[in-house]
Structure 1
Amino acid sequence: MARRGQLHRMLAEGIVHGDAADFLPLLPGGGVDLFFTSPPYADARAYSRIHPDRYVEWFLPFAEKMLAATSETGSMIINIKNRVANRGTLKGQRHPYVYQLVLALQQMGWRWIETYIWSKPNAVPGKFGPRTKDSFEYVYHFARGERPYFDLDAVRIPYKADAAEIARRNNDANGRRNTASGFGRDRTKTYLRGGADPGNVVSVPQTYNQYRGVAHTAAMPEGLAEFFIRCASPKGGLVVDPFAGSGTTVVVARRYDRQSVGFELHERFVGVARERLAAGQADDPAGVLRAVGQ
C-alpha cells in the first residue's frame, strides 16, 4: 500500500526531480508495464558524461531495479547509440559498450526480444573520419517474461499490394505458423488484420530542440516514443521513463491513455518537461513504419 501511495503521488507530479536510482525502488513490484527510455549515451553529453568503459557498470543497477518493478508481461525498451572512442586503446574505433550492455542485460535475466533500427532521414552530417554520417540508432526491446504484451494491430501499416494480390495471398494455405523458438505468425491470416505487420525499421525525423524552450540537446522525437508505447503497453497501463529529459515519453504515453511518470536528475530540464506535460505539446512528426519484404 505504501508503494501504491508513492506511485499516486509520483503520477500526480508527472515529472519527478531526482535520481532514478532513488525512485525506482518506490514503484510497486511487478507493477510497470513498460519502461521506455533513452538513457545518457556514453561520453556524449556535457550534462552526463559516462566513460564507455564504465557504461555497463553504471547502467546495470538501474536495470536491476527496473526488472524488479516490471510486470510479468512488461518490457524495457532502450534507445541507445554507440560511438567512436575519443581516447584510450580504442581511440578512433567504434566502442562496443552498447553490445556489452545488451549481453549483460540478458545475463541479468532480461529477455532480449528484438533489435530495432531508428532511421533518421534528417541526420546532420559531421566529422566522423573514414565513415559516413550517423543516420540510425538502436532501440532494444527486453522483456521480463516469456510472453510480453505486444499489440501489432496498434502499429500496422497500410498494404501496398492491390486487392487482387491480397485476395491471392488469402488463398495461401502454407503460411508459417510456429517456429522452434515458440513464436510465429500465420501469414494466411495477416491480411484479415487491416494492415501489414511493420518491419523493425522505424523512420522518424530527428528532433532539433523543436519544442520551444527545450534546452535539452538530445530531445527524443515524439514519433519514436509513440510507436513503442502504442505496441508495447496496454491502454491504462503504467509507462515509466527513468531518464525523462524533456518529458517526451510521459507526454506521449498520457496522450495515448497510459499512466506515466518520468524521473529526471537535471533540474533545468524538469521545469520545461512539466510545461510540456501540462500543455500536452505535440509538434514532432509521427514515425513512419517500413515493412520489410512487402
Structure 2
Amino acid sequence: MTLKSGKIHQGHCIELMQRIDAGSVDLVFADPPFNIGYEYDQYDDRQDDEKYLDWCRTWIAEVHRVLKATGTFWLAIGDEYAAELKVAAQREIGFTTRSWVIWYYTFGVNCKNKFSRSHAHLFHFVKDAKKFTFNADDPAIRVPSARALVYGDKRANPAGRLPDDTWILRPQDFQSDAYGFTPDQDTWYFSRVAGTFKERQGFHGCQMPEQLLGRIIRASSHEGDLVLDPFAGSGTTLAVAKKLGREFVGCELSEDYVKYATDRLKQIGCGDPLDGPADPVASAPSTKNGTTLESRTKRLAGNSRQKSLLSE
C-alpha cells in the first residue's frame, strides 16, 4: 500500500484510493456529500444527478477494489440517492447487502412543506456473501432481550442478544427509562452532534457521533485491522478506529479539514473512551426544564381529561 496509514491524506478520494493496494483494507466507512446543496469549503454539493451518480459509482468501485475478500463497506447516505446507490453497489459493482439500517436522530432538519427529516440510511455491504467479519459476541454491540427487559425471564441470556433486523416499538418498552425507545434493531437512535454538544469539533457541520461509529467498527473489524474513510471530514471514523485499536487511513479534499482532524487525532490514544454516552437514549443532553416520559404522559392525559370535561 503506497498510501501511508495512520494519517489523513489531502486530495480527491478516487485518486488517493487508486494508490491503495487492491485487497488491503478490512473496513470502509463512507459518509459522502449527499448532493443536497450543503456548503462545504471546497466541494460543490450541487451536481447534476447523473454526474453525481457516476462519481459515486466510480469511488464505490474503488472501495470494492481496495477491500479484502472478507471486507465490509458501510455507506451513510440520504433519501435522495439511497435507492440508486444501493442498486449500483449491488448490481453494478458486486457488493452484497447484509443490513439496511436507518439512523434516527434528534435535532433533525426542520422542514416547512413536508415532515421534518430526522434520519439517514446506513447500508451494510460485504464483498463476499459468506465470508465477512461480524463480531456477534462482542458485548458492546449486544442489547438486552425482551425476555430479560420486559418479562424478567430467568432463562434470558445474560449476555443479551444481537439486535433484530426488524424494528418493533412495543408499548411496554416505554416502562423502561434506559431502553424506552428501543433503538437497537435496524432503526438506530443516536442524536446528531449538535452545536452545544461537548464532542462537537466545531469546524465541520456534518460530524458523526462516535458511539454510532463505535458500533460499526466493533461489529465489522478486529483490533489491528485497517479502516478507511474516503471522506474523513471531522475525523470521527478515524478517531474511533484509533481509540478501538485499529489501523486507519483517511482521504479528505479540504486542506482545512485535514489540518483540524489531524490535530484531533493527535490528542487521542488507543484505549481512550468514546465520546458521547453509550446509552443511545441518553445521547441528547437534557435541559433544565426538560420533562420525562412519565410527566409528558400525565400531562397529555390531563389535557385529554380537560377536553372531555369541556365537551360535556
TM-score, normalised with respect to structure 2: 0.72
1:106 to 1:287, Cα distance in 2 relative to 1, 3 A: farther
Offset, 1:121: 2.6
Using the TM superposition, name which of 99-108 and 160-169 deviates more. 160-169
Of structures 1 and 2, the one scoring higher in RCO (CA 8 A, sep 6+) is 1
Aligned twin of 1:157: 143
* Alpha-carbon shift at residue 214 of structure 1 (Å): 2.8
Give 1:147-226 correspondences, 5 Å limit. Answer: 147-154=131-138, 155-162=141-148, 166-168=153-155, 191=157, 194-198=159-163, 199-209=185-195, 210=197, 211=199, 213-226=201-214
What amino acid sits opposite 1:41 in the alignment? F
Match of 1:187 in 2: none
**3-state SS, counterpart of residue 5 of structure 2:** helix
**How many residues of Structure 1 are paired with residues of Structure 2 in the alignment?**
245
Residue 108 of structure 2 aligns with an amino acid whose one-letter code is A
Rounded to whole Å, the distance in 2 between the matches of 1:44 and 1:153 is 41
Unaligned runs of 5+ in 1: 84-96, 170-190, 290-294
- TM-aligned CA distance change 1:208 to 1:288, over 3 Å: closer
Inter-CA distance 135–64: structure 2 relative to 1 (3 Å threshold): same
| CA–CA separation in structure 1 for the residues paired with 2:259 and 2:99 | 34
8 Å contact from structure 2 (residues 30, 230) kept in 1: yes
Distance 1:120 1:101, change over 3 A: same
Change (3 A) 1:126 1:99: same
Note the 1:1-294 alignment, pairs <5 A: 3=1, 6-7=2-3, 10-12=4-6, 14-47=7-40, 48=43, 49=45, 50-83=47-80, 97-107=81-91, 108-127=93-112, 129=113, 131-146=114-129, 147-154=131-138, 155-162=141-148, 166-168=153-155, 191=157, 194-198=159-163, 199-209=185-195, 210=197, 211=199, 213-280=201-268, 282-286=274-278, 288=280
Question: Per the alignment, in what secondary structure is the counterpart of residue 240 of structure 2?
Answer: helix
* Alpha-carbon separation, structure 1, partners of 2:256 and 2:25: 27
Q: Name which one, 1 or 2, has greater alpha-carbon Rg.
A: 2
Residue 124 of structure 1 deviates from its aligned partner by: 4.3
Q: In 2, distance between residues paired with 1:269 and 1:121? A: 25
Distance 1:126 1:258, change over 3 A: same
Report percent identity of matched pairs.
29
| Alpha-carbon distance between aligned partners in 2 of 1:65 and 1:53, rounded to the nearest angstrom | 18
Q: Is the 8 A contact 2:105 2:192 kept in 1?
A: yes
Cα drift, residue 285 of structure 1: 3.7
Secondary structure of the structure 2 residue equivalent to 1:157: coil
RMSD across aligned positions (CA): 2.2
